[in-house]
């Protein structure tokens, strides 16, 4: 890269399949410039926003550019990113970028460019950018220094206690710190092997169905997937596993206890949970791979990472050398901790053995008439019921209580709804925590890395609340795309009169509402308006 003009103030985007070339490109770019692993599932428009914000000057496409239209989306992004001057393809299939002065390079060009003079390296210089947050609106990129890029994987290795003989099956995407740093880099730093499988990883249903065969044939010792992927694995027969396989690993969100128990009992293999953040370059705590912590929790912290539980709720705050150096946003650099504790938004406590337990996130707490309700306390009970595959609880807007719990479930054959309702009443002992509504979904929504997408569930709950409130004057449709789920979009067939507007305003009460009127005929005037109501 340096041979082709990449310098310390450049940014190298890496996008595509999680193959060995991806890691090689990441390590090289973070050493001489700033590496920027990019989500290959984003639209061309979203890629363009991230390329512009990150100041991308070189883009490396790993794998086949034609896969899922990746090449076309990258070309669209580059056309709107004026700083890009070079594109590298790891396969001999350069993308076409019309009317752009772009240097096209192959992977072999980078490998055969000769020696590059040694240079001094600043450990505080930004070595990588990782996107964090949602995929809509203005992007936000976490800035990780070279010090953090070393400290984060080192900490992950300390809590997991890798062996040099381990062979880790890493099914997390490399555009996420969990895949690139917490598993891949920490394993390699410990002398272990990092294995990937397939272009889709855990998103491939065939791989999920045949995971145990893959583990046996590849002599895998450790397998890492997010909880939703492990839940999908648990739907298939679970064979008893033997050496060398020794541990299942998960993180990114809380693992339902019923799924953990099913996997451990079915395979006879220990399960290890970890706690990580993009802002701390990977894992912040974890259970060791040897299985000596055979209970739910996220283990212990590495020695040089400090933690505080901030009252009154016990919010986890962290400080240490793996901390990020602020976010890169449109307005510049924001929220740089500068050595201070970083409040994570996670709620934590200690068990009797000194292990960290997570109790959810502050923003996920359901506040019903001033009563704080932990959604996990609802989900754990629901998930223990036979024929419940997955369960998730969120707050639903309510005119009297502010919000009430609503439970979303994915069911299996044989599910008995009346019996399930009675089961919840009998087992959720706090009346305010009992779900006001139970909704059945074919699948729970997930993010691009497989995390449960609670934001989308809150949007569905807002839509449901609006439908109920507007039962006497129903619109054609109600939509919600607000990340905070505090606004809904109402679509009407005819121009809306002041009387109907007043009825809607009164009915929706505490819900923020955006509305528009769509005409029945094309020549009718389109009336648009917006009403903001305090939540």
Has residue 522 got a pLDDT over 70? no
**CA nearest neighbour of 225 among 268, 259, 190:** 259
pLDDT tens-digit map of 200-258: 778 888 999 999 999 999 999 999 998 888 888 988 999 999 999 999 998 877 777 77
Predicted confidence band of residue 514 (pLDDT cuts 50, 70, 90): low
* For the chain, percent of residues with pLDDT exceeding 70: 90
Has residue 1 got a pLDDT over 50? yes
What CA–CA distances, in Å, run from 351 to 11, 276, 311, 345, 357?
A: 43, 19, 17, 19, 7
**CA nearest neighbour of 392 among 409, 412, 417:** 409
- CATH 3.40.50.980 residue ranges in the chain? 2-121
Q: Which residues contact 341 (CB under 8 A, 6 or more apart)?
A: 306, 308, 317, 318, 319
* Under 8 Å between Cβ of 370 and 354: no
Q: Which residues contact 65 (CB under 8 A, 6 or more apart)?
A: 16, 71, 74, 89, 91, 93, 94, 95
The domain 2-121: what is its CATH number? 3.40.50.980
What pTM was computed for the model? 0.78
**Fold category of 365-440 in CATH:** GMP Synthetase; Chain A, domain 3 (3.30.300)
Query: What per-residue confidence (pLDDT) applies to 15?
Result: 95
404/7 Cα distance (integer angstroms) = 54
**CA nearest neighbour of 411 among 436, 440, 382:** 440
**CA nearest neighbour of 382 among 346, 410, 413, 347:** 410
Helix and strand numbers, DSSP H then E, in the chain: 15, 28
Has residue 531 got a pLDDT over 60? no
pLDDT averaged over every residue in the chain: 85
SS3 of residue 382 by DSSP: helix
Query: What per-residue confidence (pLDDT) applies to 385?
Result: 93
Query: What per-residue confidence (pLDDT) applies to 123?
Result: 93
Predicted confidence band of residue 496 (pLDDT cuts 50, 70, 90): low
* Under 8 Å between Cβ of 398 and 461: no
What CA–CA distances, in Å, run from 240 to 247, 267, 272, 273, 531?
A: 13, 4, 17, 20, 59
**CA nearest neighbour of 377 among 307, 328, 317, 433:** 433
Query: What per-residue confidence (pLDDT) applies to 511?
Result: 59
Q: Give helix 454-469 / helix 498-508 axis angle, nearest 10°.
A: 130
Query: What per-residue confidence (pLDDT) applies to 529?
Result: 36
Range in 92-106, 287-301, 417-431 the model is least confident about: 92-106
DSSP string of 264-298, one letter each residue: HHHH--EEEEEEEEGGGTEEEEE--TT----SSS-
- Is the link from the previous residue into 312 a cis peptide, with omega within 30 of 0? yes
Query: What per-residue confidence (pLDDT) applies to 526?
Result: 35
Has residue 330 got a pLDDT over 50? yes
pLDDT mean over 362-381: 83
pLDDT tens-digit map of 270-326: 999 999 999 999 999 999 998 888 777 899 999 899 999 988 778 999 999 999 999
Query: What per-residue confidence (pLDDT) applies to 439?
Result: 94
**CA nearest neighbour of 275 among 320, 318, 324, 229:** 318
Predicted confidence band of residue 515 (pLDDT cuts 50, 70, 90): low
**CA nearest neighbour of 67 among 198, 202, 170:** 198
Range in 109-118, 125-134, 247-256, 312-321 the model is least confident about: 109-118
**Fold category of 145-362 in CATH:** Rossmann fold (3.40.50)
- CATH 3.40.50.12780 residue ranges in the chain? 145-362
Predicted confidence band of residue 473 (pLDDT cuts 50, 70, 90): confident
Can you tell me which residue has the tokens 């899922």?
Answer: 68
244/242 Cα distance (integer angstroms) = 6
Query: What per-residue confidence (pLDDT) applies to 506?
Result: 72
Has residue 97 got a pLDDT over 80? no
């Amino acid at each position: 890269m340096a041979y082709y003009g990449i310098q310390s103030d450049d940014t190298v985007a890496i996008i595509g399949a999680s193959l060995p070339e991806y890691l090689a490109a990441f390590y090289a770019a973070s050493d001489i410039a700033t590496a920027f692993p990019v989500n290959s599932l984003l639209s061309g428009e979203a890629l363009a926003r991230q390329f512009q914000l990150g100041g991308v000057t070189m883009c490396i496409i790993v794998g086949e550019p034609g896969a899922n239209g990746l090449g076309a989306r990258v070309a669209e992004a580059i056309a709107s990113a004026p700083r890009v001057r070079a594109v590298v393809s790891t396969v001999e299939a350069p993308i076409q970028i019309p009317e752009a002065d772009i240097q096209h390079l192959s992977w072999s060009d980078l490998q055969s460019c000769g020696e590059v003079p040694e240079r001094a390296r600043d450990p505080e210089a930004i070595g990588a950018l990782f996107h964090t947050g949602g995929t809509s609106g203005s992007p936000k990129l976490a800035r990780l220094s070279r010090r953090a890029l070393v400290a984060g994987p080192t900490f992950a290795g300390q809590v997991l206690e890798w062996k040099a003989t381990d062979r880790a099956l890493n099914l997390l995407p490399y555009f996420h710190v969990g895949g690139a740093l917490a598993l891949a880099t920490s394993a390699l730093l410990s002398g272990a092997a990092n294995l990937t499988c397939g272009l889709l990883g855990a998103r491939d249903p065939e791989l999920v169905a045949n995971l145990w065969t893959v583990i046996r044939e590849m002599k895998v010792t450790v397998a890492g997937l997010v909880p939703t992927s492990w839940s999908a694995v648990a739907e298939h027969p679970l064979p008893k596993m033997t050496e060398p396989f020794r541990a299942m690993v998960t993180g990114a969100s809380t693992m339902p206890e019923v799924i953990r128990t099913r996997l451990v009992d079915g395979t006879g293999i220990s399960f290890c949970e970890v706690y990580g953040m993009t802002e701390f370059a990977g894992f912040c705590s974890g259970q060791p791979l040897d299985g000596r912590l055979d209970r739910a929790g996220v283990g212990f912290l590495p020695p040089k990472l400090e933690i505080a539980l901030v009252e009154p709720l016990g919010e986890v705050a962290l400080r240490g050398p793996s901390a990020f150096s602020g976010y890169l946003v449109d307005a510049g650099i924001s929220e740089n901790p500068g050595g201070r504790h970083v409040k994570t938004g996670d709620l934590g406590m200690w068990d009797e053995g000194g292990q960290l337990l997570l109790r959810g996130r502050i923003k996920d707490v359901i506040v019903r008439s001033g009563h704080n309700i932990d959604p996990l306390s609802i989900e754990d009970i629901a998930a223990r019921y036979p024929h419940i595959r997955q369960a998730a609880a969120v707050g639903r807007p309510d005119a009297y209580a502010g919000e009430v719990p609503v439970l979303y479930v994915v069911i299996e054959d044989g599910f008995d709804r009346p019996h399930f309702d009675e089961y919840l009443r009998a087992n959720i002992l706090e009346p305010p925590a009992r779900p006001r509504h139970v909704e059945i979904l074919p699948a729970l929504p997930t993010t691009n890395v497989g995390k449960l997408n609670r934001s989308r569930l809150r949007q569905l709950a807002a839509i449901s609340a609006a439908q109920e409130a507007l039962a006497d004057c129903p619109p054609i449709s109600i939509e919600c795309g607000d990340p905070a789920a505090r606004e809904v979009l109402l679509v009407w067939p005819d121009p809306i009169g002041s009387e109907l507007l007043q009825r809607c305003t009164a009915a929706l009460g505490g819900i923020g509402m955006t509305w528009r009127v769509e005409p029945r005929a094309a020549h009718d005037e389109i009336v648009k308006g917006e009403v903001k109501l305090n939540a």
